[in-house]
């Protein structure tokens, strides 16, 4: 049974139940067929014979009634008709008894005895019947009636009693057979029911034993093994693997499942370990990345912060230098105005020299004195212009430094943008700060460019002023020489006066040009001061943004290390 499929086992059990049911049905059918045949025989023989016997009794009564009817007939035709009916009834009665004997052979002797009694009665009644049938007179019919009453009626009643006994025998026999058949029917029903119940019980017991031993118990074993495997208990053993049915296949599959689950558990453990190692490596890599990022970007932030501080200091120095330049240019402007006034005085002196020689000597002395003062002022102005040139050079160096810082800041902002892009979403805020730092660096570069242009213009004007002042110094020296020459040779007064006038005009033009150049220097110094203020503001903004960049960097590194 273990090698049969479960469906085949169920079919075998169903066939067993079917065989039991078919056996019960076959037995019941055969028994009921036998009972039906017996009932049919009872109806066709005993019952029919009992009915014929009852009818035979009525026929005997009809024969007796026909005999009395003959006694009351007054015509021959009437006698003949009644006689014919009487003979027919006698014949019918005898035929019915023969039919009864044929239907129930077992009581044929009793039927034969009854026939003998009835025949004897017919014979004994025959004279009286003949007498009644042969007369039509009142006296004859009366005598025939008396004869019938005396001889025929007792005989016929005795025959009728015998007939009734036969009927009772037939009825009792029919009742006995009917009871027997009813008993057989009850017995058949009982036997069929008992056999069916017994067969069903046996079939159910066999089915229970087969299903328990071949299906449910092995299935429970396999199910228990699967449940234990589901609860991570892989120490199960199965004894049903040698079967060829579904349970054996399920047991084999369960063993394969156990092996698969064991391998899966091992793979899961390995995966968990690999995941833990990967998580540790990821955290280590994140720490390394944070450290390297902090080292790279931290240097950038510190460099930007330092550069912004240096830029702020340089801008402050530039602003102070611009203020100094503006102050010096104002002083030079005053000196140039004074020199211009002195030149005008010289011009007046040369004009007066043409009217009075005596006055010439005095004016020559005055001119010499004024020339000496002009030389001193020119030398002083030359020194101040030199200081202004040096200040402009220093401003140029500062502007170059600011330009270098702005370029380095721009490069640092670009590197910070690249590092923020590598960091992904976590470095988004850092990238925004880097963009703002880059924009400030661009603004600083633009402002330093404008400052450089202004300084170049200021240096050009300063060089021009230096040359002009040197020319003024030379002119004043020449004026001194001319004054000496005037003192030495009055005769050359006219020519010297003209030369002095010409030189005075040149000096006036030179002082005017110096005043104009000093004004340009003053304006350039003012623009330099404004530009330096803008650079200072940009440097301060850059310092603030570098601090913000450092804060964002610290926050980003904290998030990166916490991940």
Residue 84: predicted pLDDT: 92
Within this chain, do residues 129 and 212 fall inside the same structural domain, yes or no? yes
Average the pLDDT over 185-214 and give the result: 82
* Angstrom distance (rounded) from CA 345 to CA 342: 5
Residue 195: predicted pLDDT: 83
Instruction: Please write down the long-range contacts of 177-180, taking CB distance under 8 Å and 24 or more positions apart.
Output: 177/38, 177/42, 177/46, 178/42, 180/38
Within this chain, do residues 37 and 141 fall inside the same structural domain, yes or no? yes
- CATH number for the domain spanning 490: value is 1.10.287.950
Residue 130 has pLDDT above 70, yes or no: yes
Within this chain, do residues 401 and 482 fall inside the same structural domain, yes or no? yes
Q: Is 518 exposed, middle or buried (0-12, 13-18, 19+ CB in 10 A)?
A: buried
Q: Which of 5-9, 204-208, 433-437, 504-508 has the highest mean pLDDT?
A: 204-208
Instruction: For tokens 């003012």, name the residue.
Output: 526
Average the pLDDT over 99-127 and give the result: 86
Within this chain, do residues 467 and 550 fall inside the same structural domain, yes or no? yes
Residue 88: predicted pLDDT: 92
Within this chain, do residues 147 and 27 fall inside the same structural domain, yes or no? yes
Give the domain-ending residue among 226, 247, 264: 226
* Angstrom distance (rounded) from CA 335 to CA 232: 106
What percent of the chain is predicted at pLDDT more than 70? 76
Of 362 and 395, more confident: 362
Residues 6+ apart with CB under 8 A from 287: 561
What percent of the chain is predicted at pLDDT more than 90? 1
Residue 504 has pLDDT above 60, yes or no: no
Residues 6+ apart with CB under 8 A from 225: 236, 237, 238, 251, 254, 258
Of 494 and 102, more confident: 102
In a domain, 361, yes or no: yes
Within this chain, do residues 438 and 340 fall inside the same structural domain, yes or no? yes
Range of the domain at 396: 278-562
In a domain, 124, yes or no: yes
In a domain, 529, yes or no: yes
Average the pLDDT over 398-421 and give the result: 75
Of 157 and 290, more confident: 157
Within this chain, do residues 191 and 300 fall inside the same structural domain, yes or no? no
In the chain the first and final C-alpha atoms are separated, in Å, by 64
Residue 108 has pLDDT above 80, yes or no: yes
Residue 59 has pLDDT above 70, yes or no: yes
Average the pLDDT over 188-209 and give the result: 84
Give the domain-ending residue among 200, 226, 252: 226
Of 418 and 448, more confident: 418
Of 16 and 490, more confident: 16
* Angstrom distance (rounded) from CA 8 to CA 15: 10
Within this chain, do residues 60 and 185 fall inside the same structural domain, yes or no? yes
pLDDT in tens, 292-336: 766 766 676 677 677 667 767 766 776 776 677 677 667 756 765
**What value, to the nearest 5°, has the Cα angle with vertex 176 and ends 173 and 179?**
150
Residue 427 sits at φ, ψ, to 5 deg, of: -100, 15
Within this chain, do residues 153 and 213 fall inside the same structural domain, yes or no? yes
Minimum mean pLDDT range among 47-61, 115-129, 225-239:
225-239
In a domain, 261, yes or no: no
In a domain, 192, yes or no: yes
Within this chain, do residues 317 and 452 fall inside the same structural domain, yes or no? yes
Give the domain-ending residue among 195, 226, 257: 226
Left, alpha or beta for 424 (phi > 0: left; psi -120 to 50: alpha)?
left
- Assess contact for 135 and 70: CB atoms under 8 A: no
Reported pTM: 0.36
In a domain, 330, yes or no: yes
SS3 letters across 26-57? HHHHHHHHHHHHHHHHHHHHHHHHHHHHHHHH
Q: Which of 189-198, 238-247, 308-317 has the highest mean pLDDT?
A: 189-198
The number of folded domains in the chain is: 2
Q: Is 130 exposed, middle or buried (0-12, 13-18, 19+ CB in 10 A)?
A: middle
Can you read off the two tokens belonging to residue 430?
């850092």
Within this chain, do residues 283 and 385 fall inside the same structural domain, yes or no? yes
Of 206 and 245, more confident: 206
Within this chain, do residues 106 and 209 fall inside the same structural domain, yes or no? yes
Confidence of residue 104 (pLDDT cuts 50, 70, 90): confident
Residue 9: predicted pLDDT: 65
- CATH number for the domain spanning 94: value is 1.20.120.1730
Residue 48: predicted pLDDT: 81
Residue 41: predicted pLDDT: 66
In a domain, 237, yes or no: no
In a domain, 306, yes or no: yes
* Angstrom distance (rounded) from CA 502 to CA 116: 213
């Amino acid at each position: 049974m273990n090698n049969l499929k479960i469906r085949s086992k169920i079919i075998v059990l169903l066939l067993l139940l079917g065989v039991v049911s078919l056996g019960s049905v076959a037995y019941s059918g055969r028994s009921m067929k036998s009972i039906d045949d017996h009932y049919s025989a009872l109806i066709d023989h005993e019952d029919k014979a009992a009915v014929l016997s009852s009818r035979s009794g009525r026929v005997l009564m009809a024969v007796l009634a026909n005999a009395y009817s003959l006694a009351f007939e007054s015509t021959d035709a009437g006698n003949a008709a009644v006689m014919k009916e009487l003979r027919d009834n006698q014949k019918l009665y005898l035929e019915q008894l023969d039919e009864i004997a044929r239907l129930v052979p077992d009581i044929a002797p009793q039927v034969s005895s009854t026939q003998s009694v009835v025949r004897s009665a017919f014979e004994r009644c025959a004279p009286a019947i003949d007498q009644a049938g042969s007369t039509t007179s009142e006296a004859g019919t009366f005598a025939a009636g008396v004869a019938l009453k005396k001889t025929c009626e007792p005989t016929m009643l005795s025959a009728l009693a015998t007939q009734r006994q036969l009927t009772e025998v037939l009825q009792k026999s029919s009742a006995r057979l009917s009871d027997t058949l009813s008993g057989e029917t009850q017995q058949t029903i009982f036997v069929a029911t008992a056999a069916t119940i017994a067969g069903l019980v046996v079939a159910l017991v066999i089915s229970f034993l087969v299903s328990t031993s071949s299906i449910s118990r092995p299935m429970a074993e396999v199910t228990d093994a699967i449940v234990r495997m589901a609860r991570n208990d892989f120490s199960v053993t199965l004894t049903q693997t040698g079967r060829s049915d579904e349970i054996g296949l399920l047991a084999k599959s369960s063993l394969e499942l156990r092996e698969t689950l064991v391998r899966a558990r091992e793979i899961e453990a390995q995966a968990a370990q690999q995941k833990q190692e990967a998580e540790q490596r990821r955290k280590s890599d994140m720490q390394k990345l944070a450290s390297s990022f902090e080292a790279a970007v931290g240097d950038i932030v510190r460099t930007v912060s330092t550069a912004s501080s240096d830029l702020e200091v340089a801008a402050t120095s530039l602003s102070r230098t611009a203020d100094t330049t503006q102050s010096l240019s104002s002083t030079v402007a005053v000196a140039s105005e004074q020199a211009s006034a002195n030149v005008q005085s010289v011009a007046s002196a040369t004009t007066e020299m043409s009217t009075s020689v005596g006055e010439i000597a005095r004016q020559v002395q005055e001119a010499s004195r004024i020339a000496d003062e002009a030389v001193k002022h020119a030398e002083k102005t030359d020194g101040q212009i030199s200081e202004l040139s040096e200040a402009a050079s220093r401003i140029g160096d500062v502007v170059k430094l600011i330009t270098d810082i702005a370029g380095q800041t721009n490069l640092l902002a670009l590197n910070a943008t690249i590092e923020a892009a590598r960091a992904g979403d976590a470095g988004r805020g850092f990238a925004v700060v880097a963009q703002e730092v880059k924009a400030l660096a661009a603004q600083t570069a633009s402002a330093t460019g404008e400052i450089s242009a202004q300084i170049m213009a200021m240096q050009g004007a300063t060089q021009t002023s230096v040359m002009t002042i040197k020319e003024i110094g030379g002119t004043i020296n020449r004026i001194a020489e001319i004054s000496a020459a005037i003192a030495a040779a009055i005769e050359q007064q006219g020519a010297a006066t003209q030369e002095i006038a010409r030189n005075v005009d040149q000096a006036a033009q030179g002082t005017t040009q110096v005043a104009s150049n000093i004004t340009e220097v003053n304006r350039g110094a003012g623009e330099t001061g404004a530009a330096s203020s803008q650079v200072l503001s940009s440097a301060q903004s850059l310092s603030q943004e570098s601090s913000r960049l450092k804060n964002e960097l610290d926050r980003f590194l904290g998030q990166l290390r916490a991940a």
